[in-house]
Chains A and B, each alone.
Chain A
Amino acid sequence: MESSELERFEAIVLPHLDAAYTLARYLTRNDHDAQDIVQDAYLRALKYFGGFRGQGSAGDGRTWLLAIVRNTAHTWRRRHRSDALTTEFDEKLHSDAAAEHTPATALDSDSARQSLYQALDRLGPEFREVIVLRELEGLSYKEIGDVTGVPIGTVMSRLSRARRRLQETLRNREEGE
C-alpha cells in the first residue's frame, strides 16, 4: 500500500477512534475486548478502504467505521456467547465513566447513574446499540440505519422500544426501593 494511501486512511478514519471505542465498549461491556475489537475493526477497515473510497465523497468515514466496529463486535459476541450471557455488571466501565463526570449532587447522581447503567446492561444488544449511536454518538436515524444495516423504520421502532424498556426498568427500580 502506498504511504499516501495510508495517510488518507488515517486522516479519514483515525479521528473516529473515540467513537469506535465507545461503541465497542458499551457493546462488550469490557475494556480488553473492546480494545481488541477496535484494533481488529481498523485492520478490516484498512483492507476494505478501497471499496469505501469507491463510494465517492458521499461516504462518511465515521458511519463506515462504526458499521465495521459493530459487525466485529457482533461476530465477537457470537463467538463468546456463553461468556456474554454471564457478563457481570462492568464495575470498571462504570467507575471509569463516573470518574469522568463530576455530578452536582453526588449521591443522588451516583445512584441514578448506576440505575441507568444497569438498565442499559439489561437491554438486548440491538437495543443498546441504537441508544449508544443516538444518544452518545449523536447519529441521525439514517446514519444509525447505515451502521446497523436496517431500514430507518426499524431504527425508529428499536429506539422507541429501547427507551420504553429503559423507562420501565427505571420505574420498577424506583418502586422496588
Chain B
Amino acid sequence: MTHRELELQLDAYVDGELAPEDARELEAHLSACGDCARLHEARVALSAAIREQVPALRAPGALRDRVRATLRDAARTTRVRRGLPAVATRWLALAASLATVAVGSWRLALSGAGEDALAGQVLASHVRSLMPGHLTDVVSSDQHTVKPWFNGKLDFSPPVYDFAGRGFPLIGGRLDYVGGRAVAALVYGRRQHVINVFLWPTRGSVGGAPRVATRQGYHLLQWTTPEYAYWVVSDLGLAELHDFAHLLRQGDSTAAGPAAAPPPP
C-alpha cells in the first residue's frame, strides 16, 4: 500500500467511515509504524481543533424572519401563478386585463373617470403585491407594530386593527403609491386569500355603503369615511369581503374586542 493510500484510509478511519476489517488492519499498522502513528495523531488533533475553533453558526434572527415571510408570500402566490406561463406573458395578460378595467366593465358604476383609473391602479397594486417579496414591508400580526411602522413614512397615521378574532388576521403593511400619492396598504389574510386595504386621507363627501366592482376574479370595495378613502381588494368571495369591510367600517369599537386580547407569551 502506498503512503497516499494509507493517508486516505487514515482519514476515513478518523471519520469512522472505514470498514471494520480495514480498520483493524490499519490499527495494526499504526502500532508498528511511527510515521503513520504521528500522522494519525496530527489528523485527530486537526479535526479537534477545527471543531473547537471554527464554530457552526446560528442564523441571525433577521434572516429567520425574512425566510419565513418570503416563504409565506411565495406559498400564497403559487396559487395565483399556478398554470400560468412565463413572467413576461403574465405581465402582458395583466396589462390586458387592466386595460379592460380602464375602459370600464364595472358591475356598478363608479363615480367617474378619475375613480375608474384609481380602481385600475388599486387592482394593479394588489396583483403586484402578490408577486414574491412584494406583499409586505413590515410583517406583523400586531397592530401596535404595524401602525407605528408608518411613522415618518406617511403624512398620516393610518388606523390599524387586527381582526384575527374574526378570522381576518393582520399579516402586515407596506407603503404603496396610488392616485399620485403615497398610501398605506394593510394586508390581511382569510384562509389562503390575501386582502389588501389601501387608504389615504381625504376630505371628500362621506359615501354610504361600499361600492363594488368585480374584474378578473378580484372584487374591489370602495368607501369613504370622514377621514379616509378606503379601497379593499381581494379574490375572496364577495360576501366574506363585505363582512371584512363591515369590520373595518365599524372601526375601533369592534376591533377593540379581539385586538385587545393580550399577545401570546
Could you list which residues of chain A lie within 8 angstroms of chain B, going by C-beta atoms? 1-3, 5-6, 9-10, 14, 17-22, 25-26, 31, 35, 38-39, 42-43, 46-47, 96-97, 100-101, 109, 112-113, 116-117, 120, 131, 134-137, 140-141, 156-157, 159-160, 163-164, 166-167, 170
Contact = CB atoms under 8 A, between A and B. Distances in A.
B63 A39 contact: yes
Given A14-B67, A117-B54, A135-B54, 13 more contacts: A1-B76, A1-B79, A2-B192, A17-B64, A21-B63, A22-B57, A31-B60, A35-B62, A43-B71, A97-B53, A116-B54, A160-B8, A160-B10
A170 B52 CA distance: 16
A120 B54 contact: yes
B56 A159 contact: no
Given A18-B57, A163-B11, A141 B71 contact: no
Contacts of B93: none
A166 B56 CA distance: 18
Given A3-B75, A160-B7, A97 B55 contact: yes
Interface in B215-248: none
B145 interface: no
B8 A157 contact: yes
Contacts of B46: 163, 166-167, 170
11 contacts: A21-B60, A26-B54, A35-B66, A38-B63, A42-B67, A97-B57, A120-B54, A135-B54, A141-B12, A163-B11, A163-B47
B53 A109 contact: yes
Contact of A17 (B17, B50, B51, B59): B59
Contacts of B17: 140-141, 156
Contacts of A131: 50
A39 B55 contact: no
A51 B62 CA distance: 29
A46 B74 contact: yes
A161 to B, nearest CB: 9
B49 A112 contact: yes
Interface in B49-91: 49-60, 62-64, 66-68, 70-72, 74-76, 78-79
Contacts of B192: 2-3
A135 B51 contact: yes
A101 B46 CA distance: 18
Nearest to A160: B11
Contacts of A140: 17
A contacts with B: majority SS: helix
Nearest to B81: A1
Given A156-B8, A163-B11, A167-B42, A136 B53 contact: no
B18 to A, nearest CB: 10
A5 B15 CA distance: 37
B43 interface: yes
Given A6-B72, A46-B74, A156-B17, A17 B53 contact: no
A116 B78 CA distance: 45
Given A141-B15, A156-B11, A159-B11, A42 B71 contact: yes
B11 A116 contact: no
Nearest to B191: A3
Contacts of A101: 52-53, 55
Nearest to A164: B7
B132 interface: yes
Contacts of B67: 14, 17, 38-39, 42
Contacts of B11: 156, 159-160, 163
A167 to B, nearest CB: 6
Contacts of B57: 18, 21-22, 25, 96-97, 100
